[in-house]
């Protein structure tokens, strides 16, 4: 046993737990922990400009790696600043560890400076939150925290450390410390037999893959099962990339906002739906009467209270997605000869992907947003990781971009906090420094936490941030149509310092450059390809974030609706007769009669 400060024990524990990537800001009440990080040297820290930004960076890191990112801050407002980050992580089942400093235990009841009951504040948006009042509890509490984060449905934890507890000495032997095993339920063979019994009666089965597949690192098993049974797969927004977009069995996303037209049509023709690791989120299902129809539903999820939360399935199973997929593969191989041949149905879904696209090849000035996503597909490779969070930009991006692998679409799906995109992208770059990372924001999302660009400049974290600027709160403006108003949703003004912004207001190029980054402004769709190429060059040469601001037309309504059968396509996206596509990327106006895209049959 060795006598040491509790913060030194914490540093050793973090290393042994494999959680050594921290994002945060030092302060008086957390300085002892910072001294331990400095002295031990096995933990890397990124200094942020805002603690909320640090929490989103930790979130992005966890999503990109499947590990646990750590957010660190001092007492008082640092902890309250983390709440939005904790909520975003909890909503999407992402484990992050938030560590806060705290006033001494002797004054917690005296309204001391920056002393706040962060444990109580954080509990509704964490799996576990605790103010550690006794030094001897530190090792066990951290062990418990890591076990909780990793067990069942993953999620965030906050641990609050009074400064006197940090400074206290305890007897501790890191060699005797062992991480606690995570608890993950697994489907039984009997349960999986019943799943296959239901599938055996299907004519048009469909697999809905949710974020639990990504969390379980089970994308390979998902694709193997789909190929074994020849069943189309529709990933949810949180599982986008679990099966590559150009795989013949990737049937397209389903939803009332983030979806593809061919994905919705295939779903509406299905008769048995197997959901694995998904939540039946409202933006996915829309009107439940339409969604459920006469279909039979199987729901497999790691969290018991998710089964039946939105609607009661015909069969519900509590299981880790990876464990369930492993069992499904085992039993399906044994029963393959007795199962129906679904190749005709699968081929029909594949053929549908060559039609039912939306128009993207606009030449308008100002630029229509659909053209931006067409050019992004052409400019950025298959290995690109996209980061986005909220707004018309995210919705249109999910309708038109293409993703080809797990953890290549990083998105705050349920909480959707404005400002999440930029700092989350920094966390993704920390996780994968040699990969292409492209963030996507509207101008309003971008202006939240814009100061975090300086973090990328200081620590040389290069990524490309595409900002589609219509100087509007676009999604809110579109939703206000139901109230026949356009009220306080415009961000436009005449910028007296930047007349080149032409009434669009904030000069994002100057702001980005002032924060140490590079920036490109594009106003003509013919310049998009060259602009993205220049952004790639600048990021590689200078190793800083590069902002690509695309000036859009002020108003574009993006396709969405209340139900899968009632998505409003809007007049400006009306489909006309045009050439069939020659690749998965929708390069022209398409009709339901167009021929399938040859590239879709590549696998």
pLDDT for the residue 474: 76
How far is residue 422's CA from residue 461's CA, in Å, rounded to a whole number? 11
Q: Of 57, 61, 20, which is closest to residue 41 (Cα–Cα)?
A: 20
Top CATH class of 369-558 equals alpha beta
**Per-residue DSSP letter, 472:** B
Pairing between β-strand 2-5 and β-strand 169-172 as defined by DSSP bridges: antiparallel
The fold for domain 189-352 equals Rossmann fold (3.40.50)
Q: Where are the alpha helices (DSSP H) in 231-316?
A: 261-269, 282-285, 288-292
Q: Do domains 2-176 and 369-558 have the same CATH topology?
A: yes
pLDDT number for residue 571:
53
Matching residue, tokens 């309250």: 80
**DSSP 3-state assignment of 487?**
coil
The CA distances from residue 202 to 189, 340, 345, 424, in Å, are 20, 8, 11, 41
In 3-state terms, the chain is what percent helix, strand and coil (to 5)?
45, 15, 40
Tell me which H or E stretch contains 560. strand 560-561
Nearest in space to 254 (alpha carbons), one of 452, 124, 449, 399: 399
Cβ contacts of 116-124, under 8 Å, gap ≥ 24 = 116/75, 116/76, 116/77, 116/79, 116/80, 118/75, 118/79, 118/80, 118/158, 118/160, 119/158, 119/160, 121/79, 121/80, 121/83, 122/79, 122/82, 122/83, 122/86, 122/98, 122/158
Give the residue among 53, 39, 44 at the shortest CA–CA distance from 22.
Answer: 44
Nearest-5° angle of CA 547, CA 553, CA 555? 115
Q: Which residues of 542-554 are buried (b: 16+ CB within 10 A; e: fewer)?
A: eebbbbbbbbbeb
For residues 418 and 389, is the Cβ–Cβ distance under 8 A? yes
H runs (alpha helix) in 495-557 = 508-514, 528-542
The Cα–Cα gap between 506 and 498 comes to 8
Calpha distance 427→21 (Å, rounded): 9
Sequence-separated (6 or more) residues with CB below 8 Å from residue 499: none
pLDDT of residue 555: 87
Q: Write down the pLDDT at residue 111.
A: 82
Exposed (0-12), middle (13-18) or buried (19+): which is 176, by Cβ within 10 Å? exposed
Determine the topology of domain 2-176 in CATH. Rossmann fold (3.40.50)
- Mean pLDDT for each 10-residue chunk of the chain (603 residues)? 95 98 97 96 96 98 98 97 98 98 91 90 98 98 98 97 98 97 97 98 98 98 98 98 97 96 96 97 95 97 96 98 98 96 97 90 94 96 95 93 98 93 98 97 95 98 97 85 88 93 95 98 98 97 98 91 92 41 36 34 31
* Domain extents in the chain: 2-176, 189-352, 369-558
Instruction: Report the distance separating Cα 43 and Cα 197, nearest Å.
Output: 50
């Amino acid at each position: 046993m060795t006598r040491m400060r509790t913060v030194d024990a914490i540093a050793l524990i973090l290393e042994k737990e494999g959680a050594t990537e921290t994002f945060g800001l030092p302060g008086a009440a957390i300085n002892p922990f910072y001294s331990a990080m400095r002295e031990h040297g096995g933990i890397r820290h990124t200094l942020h400009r805002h603690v909320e930004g640090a929490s989103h960076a930790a979130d992005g890191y966890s999503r990109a790696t499947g590990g646990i990112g750590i957010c660190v801050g001092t007492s008082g407002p640092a902890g309250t600043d983390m709440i939005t980050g904790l909520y975003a992580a909890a909503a999407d089942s992402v484990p992050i560890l938030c560590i806060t400093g705290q006033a001494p235990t002797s004054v917690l009841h005296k309204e001391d400076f920056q002393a706040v009951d962060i444990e109580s504040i954080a509990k509704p948006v964490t799996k576990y939150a605790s103010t550690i009042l006794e030094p001897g509890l530190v090792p066990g509490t951290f062990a418990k925290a890591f076990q909780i984060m990793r067990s069942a449905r993953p999620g965030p934890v906050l641990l609050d450390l009074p400064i006197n507890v940090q400074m206290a000495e305890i007897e501790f032997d890191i060699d005797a410390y062992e991480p606690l095993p995570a608890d993950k339920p697994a489907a039984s063979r009997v349960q999986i037999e019943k799943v296959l019994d239901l599938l055996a009666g299907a004519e048009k089965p469909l697999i809905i893959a949710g974020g639990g597949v990504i969390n379980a690192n089970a994308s390979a098993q998902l694709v193997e099962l789909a190929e074994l049974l020849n069943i189309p797969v529709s990933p949810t927004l949180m599982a986008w990339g679990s099966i590559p977009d150009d795989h013949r069995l990737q049937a397209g996303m389903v939803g009332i906002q983030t979806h593809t037209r061919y994905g919705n049509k295939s779903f509406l023709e299905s008769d048995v739906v197997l959901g694995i690791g998904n939540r039946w989120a409202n933006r996915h299902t829309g009107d439940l009467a339409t969604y459920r129809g006469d279909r039979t539903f199987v729901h497999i999820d790691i969290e018991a209270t998710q089964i039946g939360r939105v609607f009661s399935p015909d069969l519900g199973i509590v299981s880790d997605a990876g464990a369930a997929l492993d069992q499904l593969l085992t039993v399906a191989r044994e029963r393959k000869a007795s199962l129906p041949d679904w190749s005709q149905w699968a081929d029909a879904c594949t053929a549908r992907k060559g039609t039912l696209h939306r128009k993207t090849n606009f030449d308008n000035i100002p630029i229509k947003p659909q053209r931006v996503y067409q050019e992004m597909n052409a400019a950025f490779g298959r290995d690109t990781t996209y980061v986005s969070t909220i707004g018309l930009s995210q919705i249109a991006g999910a309708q038109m971009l293409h993703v080809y692998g797990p953890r290549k679409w990083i998105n705050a799906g349920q909480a959707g906090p404005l400002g999440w995109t930029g700092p989350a992208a920094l966390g993704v770059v920390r996780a994968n420094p040699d990969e292409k990372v492209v963030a996507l924001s509207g101008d309003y999302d971008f202006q939240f936490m814009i100061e975090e660009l300086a973090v990328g400049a200081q620590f040389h974290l290069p990524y490309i941030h595409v900002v589609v600027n219509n100087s509007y709160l676009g999604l809110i403006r579109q939703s206000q149509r139901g109230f026949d108003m356009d009220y306080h949703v415009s961000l436009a003004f005449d910028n007296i310092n930047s007349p080149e912004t032409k009434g669009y207001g904030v000069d994002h190029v100057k702001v980005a450059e002032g924060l140490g980054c590079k920036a490109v402004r594009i106003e003509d769709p013919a310049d998009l390809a060259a602009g993205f190429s220049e952004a790639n060059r600048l990021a590689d040469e200078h190793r800083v974030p590069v902002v690509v601001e695309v000036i859009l037309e002020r108003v574009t309504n993006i396709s969405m609706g209340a139900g899968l059968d009632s998505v409003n396509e809007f007049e400006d996206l009306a489909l006309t007769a045009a050439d069939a596509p020659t690749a998965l990327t929708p390069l022209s106006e398409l009709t339901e009669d167009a021929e399938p895209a040859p590239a879709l049959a590549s696998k």
